[in-house]
Amino acid sequence: MTAAENVCYTLINVPMDSEPPSEISLKNDLEKGDVKSKTEALKKVIIMILNGEKLPGLLMTIIRFVLPLQDHTIKKLLLVFWEIVPKTTPDGRLLHEMILVCDAYRKDLQHPNEFIRGSTLRFLCKLKEAELLEPLMPAIRACLEHRHSYVRRNAVLAIYTIYRNFEHLIPDAPELIHDFLVNEKDASCKRNAFMMLIHADQDRALDYLSTCIDQVQTFGDILQLVIVELIYKVCHANPSERARFIRCIYNLLQSSSPAVKYEAAGTLVTLSSAPTAIKAAAQCYIDLIIKESDNNVKLIVLDRLIELKEHPAHERVLQDLVMDILRVLSTPDLEVRKKTLQLALDLVSSRNVEELVIVLKKEVIKTNNVSEHEDTDKYRQLLVRTLHSCSVRFPDMAANVIPVLMEFLSDNNEAAAADVLEFVREAIQRFDNLRMLIVEKMLEVFHAIKSVKIYRGALWILGEYCSTKEDIQSVMTEIRRSLGEIPIVESEIKKEAGELKPEEEITVGPVQKLVTEMGTYATQSALSSSRPTKKEEDRPPLRGFLLDGDFFVAASLATTLTKIALRYVALVQEKKKQNSFVAEAMLLMATILHLGKSSLPKKPITDDDVDRISLCLKVLSECSPLMNDIFNKECRQSLSHMLSAKLEEEKLSQKKESEKRNVTVQPDDPISFMQLTAKNEMNCKEDQFQLSLLAAMGNTQRKEAADPLASKLNKVTQLTGFSDPVYAEAYVHVNQYDIVLDVLVVNQTSDTLQNCTLELATLGDLKLVEKPSPLTLAPHDFANIKANVKVASTENGIIFGNIVYDVSGAASDRNCVVLSDIHIDIMDYIQPATCTDAEFRQMWAEFEWENKVTVNTNMIDLNDYLQHILKSTNMKCLTPEKVKFD
Express each pLDDT in 319-360 by its tens digit: 888 888 888 888 888 888 889 988 888 888 888 888 888 888
Percent of the chain predicted with pLDDT > 90: 5
The Cα-based distances of 376 to 249, 409, 500, 725 in angstroms read 40, 16, 42, 61
What mean pLDDT do residues 537-553 have?
A: 80
Alpha helices (H) in 16-142, listed in sequence order: 23-32, 35-50, 59-65, 72-84, 98-109, 114-124, 130-133, 137-142
Pick 690 or 134 by higher pLDDT: 134
What mean pLDDT do residues 669-690 have?
A: 55
Residues in a beta bridge with 775: 756
Residues 6+ apart with CB under 8 A from 729: 716, 717, 718, 719, 720, 743, 744
Position 123 pLDDT exceeds 80: yes
Strands 853-855 and 883-885, sheet pairing: parallel
What mean pLDDT do residues 44-53 have?
A: 80
Neighbours of 629 (CB within 10 A): 11
Distance CA 752, CA 439 (A): 86
Straight-line distance from the first to the last Cα atom of the chain, in angstroms, rounded to the nearest whole number: 70
Please give the pLDDT value at position 885: 42
Neighbours of 189 (CB within 10 A): 22
Residues 6+ apart with CB under 8 A from 830: 794
Position 508 pLDDT exceeds 80: no
Position 231 pLDDT exceeds 70: yes
Distance CA 526, CA 528 (A): 7
What mean pLDDT do residues 170-192 have?
A: 89
Please give the pLDDT value at position 506: 43
Distance CA 83, CA 828 (A): 40
What mean pLDDT do residues 741-770 have?
A: 86
The answer for 658, left when phi > 0, alpha when psi is -120 to 50, beta otherwise, is alpha
Neighbours of 528 (CB within 10 A): 9
Inter-helix orientation angle 414-430/398-405, to 10°: 150
Residue 16's pLDDT band (cuts 50, 70, 90) = low
Position 71 pLDDT exceeds 90: no
Look at 16-20, 223-227, 655-659, 729-733 and tell me which has the smallest mean pLDDT: 16-20
Position 718 pLDDT exceeds 80: yes
Distance CA 142, CA 170 (A): 13
Please give the pLDDT value at position 408: 76
Look at 34-43, 124-133, 583-592, 805-814 and tell me which has the smallest mean pLDDT: 805-814
Please give the pLDDT value at position 159: 93
Please give the pLDDT value at position 158: 92
Cβ proximity of 799 and 821 under 8 Å: yes
Pick 259 or 90 by higher pLDDT: 259
What mean pLDDT do residues 603-630 have?
A: 84
pLDDT digits (tens, 9 = 90+) for 386-400: 888 888 788 888 788
pLDDT digits (tens, 9 = 90+) for 448-490: 888 888 888 888 888 888 888 888 888 888 888 888 888 888 8
User: How many residues comprise the chain?
Assistant: 886
Report the C-alpha dihedral over residues 312, 313, 317, 321, rounded to 10 degrees.
-20
Please give the pLDDT value at position 745: 92
Look at 224-228, 446-450, 502-506, 594-598 and tell me which has the smallest mean pLDDT: 502-506
pLDDT digits (tens, 9 = 90+) for 399-454: 888 877 787 787 777 777 888 888 888 888 887 888 888 888 888 888 888 888 88
Percent of the chain predicted with pLDDT > 70: 82
pLDDT digits (tens, 9 = 90+) for 844-863: 777 655 556 677 788 877 77
Neighbours of 411 (CB within 10 A): 24
Pick 155 or 772 by higher pLDDT: 155
Residue 19's pLDDT band (cuts 50, 70, 90) = low
Q: Which of 588, 765, 622 is nearest to 596 (CA)?
A: 588
The predicted model scores a pTM of: 0.64
Pick 240 or 45 by higher pLDDT: 45
What mean pLDDT do residues 93-120 have?
A: 86
Pick 635 or 6 by higher pLDDT: 635
Position 671 pLDDT exceeds 80: no
Residue 58's pLDDT band (cuts 50, 70, 90) = confident
Please give the pLDDT value at position 162: 92
Please give the pLDDT value at position 12: 54
How does the average pLDDT of the chain come out, rounded? 79
Cβ proximity of 323 and 286 under 8 Å: no
